[in-house]
Amino acid sequence: MAEVPSIYQGPVRNTLDRLHAAAKRDVTQFFKLGPKLLAGFVRGKGLWEVMTPEAMKGAYLPVSPEQGQLLYLTARALDARTVVEYGTSFGISTIYLAAAVRDNGGGVVIGTEIEPGKHATALANLEEAGLAEIVDIRLGDAQETLQQTPEPIDLVLMDGWKELYLPLVKLLTPRLRPRAVVLGDNIFTFRKALRPYVEHMQDPQNGFASTTLKLSDGFEYSVYLGDR
C-alpha cells in the first residue's frame, strides 16, 4: 500500500488546518498596525523598519498552503534529515518541514524565533501536531542561535527579518551538503530589502543556481552546487 504523507492526515493535518484558518483571520493585525505603519512611512522608514518583531508579535506571517506543500515535497525529495529554518513564528512552516523529516525516517529541524510569545506558541503547536521530538526551536537572535548546527544541512528556509537573509546564508553555506536547497520567502514584497540576497544567490560565483518562483509573494529557490 502506498504511503500517505503525514501532512494529509491525523494530528499534522488537523493542526495545519486550524493554523491556516487562524492565519486567514489575522488580517485584523494589519488594520491595527495601520497608524504605526503610516507614521513610519511619513518619517521616511521602509516597510521592514516599521514591521519590527515587537510590532508583529501577534501576527502569523505564515507560508501559504502551497508554499508549505513545496517545503514538504522538497524535503522529501532531498531525503532531508537536517533542516534549518530562520523565522519560526507560530510554527506553520516548521510543521511542514518536521513532518517531512519524520516521514523520511527521522532527523531534526532547527528553528529560531526572537519573539518569546511566538516561540512558546510554536512549541505548543508542534506538540499538538505530534512533532515535538523532531524540532529544536531556539529562542533569540538568529545570528547567535544558528552559530552551532549539525552538519551537513540538507535544506534551509529563510523567512525572518529580511536584513539577515544574506549574512545568515553566508554563515550557513559552509555547512550545506552538495545540492542542498535554500528557500527565501517574501521576495516580491520586499524587493529592495532582499535585492542583495537575490543577487548573491543568482550569482554562480557564490556556489548556487537560483530562480525566483512566482509562488505566493515570491519564493527564491536556490540549489547549492559548490563543494563538489
Position 3 scores a pLDDT of 83
8 A C-beta contact, residue 95 and residue 15:
yes
pTM across the whole model: 0.88
Model confidence at 31, pLDDT cuts 50, 70, 90, reads: low
Mean pLDDT of the chain: 89
- State phi, psi for 202 to the nearest 5 degrees: -90, 0
In the predicted model, is pLDDT for residue 44 greater than 70? no
For 60-75, the pLDDT digits (tens) are 567 899 999 999 999 9
The strand pair at 108-113 and 135-139 is best described as: parallel
- Per-residue pLDDT of 121-170, as tens digits, reads 999 999 999 999 999 999 999 999 999 999 999 999 999 999 999 999 99
The CATH class given to the 65-224 domain equals: alpha beta
pLDDT at 2 exceeding the cut of 80: no
The model's confidence at residue 23, banded by pLDDT at 50, 70 and 90, is confident
Task: Express as a percent the part of the chain with pLDDT over 70.
Answer: 82
For the chain, give every domain's residue range: 65-224
Q: At residue 200, does pLDDT exceed 80?
A: yes
Q: What is the pLDDT of residue 18?
A: 96
Residue 199's pLDDT band (cuts 50, 70, 90): very high
- Beta strand 135-139 with 219-224 is unpaired
